[in-house]
Chain A
Amino acid sequence: MQREMIEARKPPVLSVGFIGWCREKLFATPTNSLVTVAILYGLFSLIPSFIQWAFVDATWAGASSSECSSEGACWAFISSRLDQFIYGFYPQELSWRVDLFFIQLAAVLAWLMIPVLPGKKYSLAYGLIVMPVTSWIILAGGLLGLEPVDTHDWGGLMVTLVLAMYGMLASLPIGVLLALGRRSEMPVVKTFCTVYIELWRGVPLITVLFMASVMLPLFVPEEIVFDKLVRAMIGIVMFQSAYMAEVVRGGLQAIPKGQQEASDSLGMGYWQSMCLVVLPQAIRLVIPGIVNTFIALFKDTSLVLVIGLFDLLSIVQAGLNDPAWLGTSTEGYLFVGFVFWIFCFGMSRYSQSLENNRQEH
């Protein structure tokens, strides 16, 4: 009789380690193997030629596309126009003001998003109330001895960020109010909010921008010259707050009624119970949805190109039409795609880390 434990045998070589992983994940069935081989073949035939084109044969500096080699990418287009892609037509000697705007935005975001930094309440208040005002003063000028810069001269990444920032900052509070309004028991408020949300959700953003740009100037008296950028911004905020409202409403519905009743029984009024009990829980629940909306908004800002505003995408497109740089469209669009990807990927990673944090608690 066997008295001692038989020592555990090692698993077969073919089922562990790299080989095992490959067998299990890549070549488990004949179909799997076929797909794997096909994908590997695709990668091997694409990646080296892409690297050859994008790095080895590429031209990094130059004054026109005729100086670029015809074999490789013409990154000279990006490098020679990078300033314009970031600052648009903002006067060069004043571009420090745009930098200041970028720094403020980055600092507030860091303050808000890095968990160990203290004073989250103040950072939120600063971001929601103070930052929009200071940003506008910094960029548009006209106050505090800053030279005024017409929004007409704004462009590039800066306009993309301005539109996204104001869109996000305004659509969140408006969206929360609309969501509360839609769940309200007061018929007028409820009807108004419902109609508003359904109306804006029912039209594409591109038509909203179009109305804002083409029709609005005809409706208002000619003495009032609405700024085109502001018109687009209002359109984006109106549109996005409807979406935000629906996201927040989803969170509100997930909170059990008992929470509200409990706070009622403690003697809290409507706003107290909403702000202190219900909303904090609801918003935390829908953070992924909110970030999703933000990402969509960020990408949607490039639609302003249909009304002739120069955001990042359209300023690159305008550059492509410079006779000196004809034929560099692939490089231009790759660059724009890459910049958008960095921002959106950053946002989505942040929301993931927030979710993970929440699960740990």
Chain B
Amino acid sequence: MLKALVKLTLPALLVASGGLQANEDGSTLETVKEKGFLSCGVNTGLPGFASPDDKGKWSGMDVDVCRGVAAAVLGNADKVKYIPLTAKERFTALQSGEIDVLSRNTTWTLTRDASLGLNFAGVAYYDGQGFMVSKDLGVTSAKQLDGAAVCIQSGTTTELNLADYFRTNGMKYQPVVFDTSDGTAKGFDSGRCDVLTSDQSQLYALRLRLSKPDKAVVLPEVISKEPLGPLVRQGDDQWFNIVKWSLSAMINAEELKVTSANIDKMKSSTNPSIKRLLGIEGPKGKGMGLNDDWSYQVIKQVGNYGEIFENNVGEGSPLKIERGLNALWSDGGILYAPPFR
């Protein structure tokens, strides 16, 4: 009876006190090993991050993060069950134990980290709000947009960021509001506004929906911080570490120029950093309860961060997003993973 009462008052408690631990007893690692696949919450469809192809196979950045975790834990990147989630359901699905990892272009914010009973295991993609204008306008910076008509999706944080940005810079703008991101693209295409604003990763996808994609250009300014990353439940530090280090393995691999293609050759490398990364020496997998070759499997089956980026959103994809902030720290970006030592 008491238990039932507690369950009934849960939603209130969740918001107020920092959530519940659904799988308090059994560790997530054991659960995943037992059932033989990883349950991964993804977007119901976001170009370059998660979308099913015509065979029903999921691909994208967020999807590859999950594939990496599956490769580390189960030794097989294909042992993932994708659970498409809407923005509103995503946290409940993780809290209730329906999924093991939430990799659904979720922005890391203080509120989410502190009050949902969840932890962000790292940043898989640094996004930020940007602007797209028609090339004919000859605009090269967002600072020149005073008085512009701006197409925007209603009810998003983008709307607030836009207002903040224009107010701080003492400029005026005229909002043209649509209820879907598709609508904003159509509005921009038909000339109802001069500027289209949204998260940069979105802008590149929206650009492809225009009748003449080459005529539009994404401006360099980024007016908000949107670090996107995978989440796990609080209270299972081992699982938290596994997700965090699966991601780190991909980033370190790019730094050490280890790719899915050359990894077998790299095994005979004399570089101690590479040896530690591939689990030949050094910490290996014991501390996390994984096999010693876990990081080898991640890189071999999924690839390093650079490969994932290029295949899903970069030059190898229709989106053609530039690395920008998502380049390695050594290449002018801010991507930086702790060392394997």
The interface of chain A, by Cβ under 8 A from chain B, is 64-66, 70, 80-81, 83-84, 88-89, 150, 152, 210, 213-215, 217-222, 225, 305-308, 310, 314, 317-324, 326-327, 329
Closest to B57 in A: A89
Chain B interfacial positions (CB closer than 8 Å to A): 3, 7-8, 10-11, 14, 22-23, 44-48, 51-56, 81, 83-86, 88-89, 92-93, 95-98, 182, 205, 208-211, 317-319
Distance in angstroms from B155 CB to nearest chain A CB is 14
Contact of B86 among A70, A218, A307 (CB under 8 A): A307
Q: Which residue of A lies closest to B21 (CB)?
A: A222
Q: Give every chain B residue within 8 A of A88 (Cβ-Cβ).
A: 56
B92 in contact with A318 (CB, 8 Å): no
Interface contact B317-A323, CB-CB below 8 Å: yes
B83 x A219 contact (CB < 8 A): no
Complex contact A326–B54 (CB within 8 A) = no
**Inter-chain CB contacts under 8 Å: number:** 104
Shortest C-beta distance, A311 to chain B (Å), equals: 11
5 cross-chain pairs, A with B, having the tightest CB-CB distances, nearest first: A321-B45, A318-B45, A217-B96, A326-B208, A89-B56
Cα A208 to Cα B316 in complex, Å, equals: 43
Taking CB atoms, residues of chain A closer than 8 Å to B10 are 218-219
Establish whether residues B95 and A317, one from each chain, have CB atoms under 8 Å apart when the complex forms: no
Contact of B92 among A217, A320, A326 (CB under 8 A): A217
Nearest Cβ distance between residue B66 and chain A, in whole angstroms? 15
Asked if residues B89 and A213 are in contact (CB atoms below 8 Å), the reply is yes
CB distance from B290 to the nearest CB of A (A): 25
Query: Of A218, A308, A322, which one neighbours B52 at CB under 8 angstroms?
Result: A322
Which residue of B86, B96, B319 is within 8 Å of A308 (Cβ)? Answer: B86
A66–B208 Cα distance when bound, in Å, is 10
Question: From A210, which residue of chain B is reached at the shortest CB distance?
Answer: B88
A322-B45, A323-B208 given; 9 more Cβ-contact pairs under 8 Å = A84-B56, A89-B56, A217-B93, A217-B96, A219-B8, A222-B22, A222-B96, A310-B44, A321-B45
A329 to B182, CA, bound (A): 8
The answer to whether A322 touches B98, judged by C-beta atoms less than 8 angstroms apart, is no
A305 to B86, CA, bound (A): 8
Tell me which residues across on chain B come within 8 A of A215, comparing CB atoms.
11, 92
- Residues of B within 8 Å of A324, CB to CB, are 53, 318
Distance (Å) between the CB of B81 and the closest chain A CB? Answer: 7
**Cβ contact within 8 Å between B51 and A225:** no
**Residue contact A84 to B52, C-beta cutoff 8 Å:** yes
List B contacts of A217 (CB < 8 A).
92-93, 96, 98
7 A-B contacts, Cβ less than 8 Å apart? A84-B56, A152-B81, A152-B83, A215-B92, A220-B7, A308-B85, A324-B53
Task: Determine whether the beta carbon of A323 is less than 8 Å from that of B318.
Answer: yes
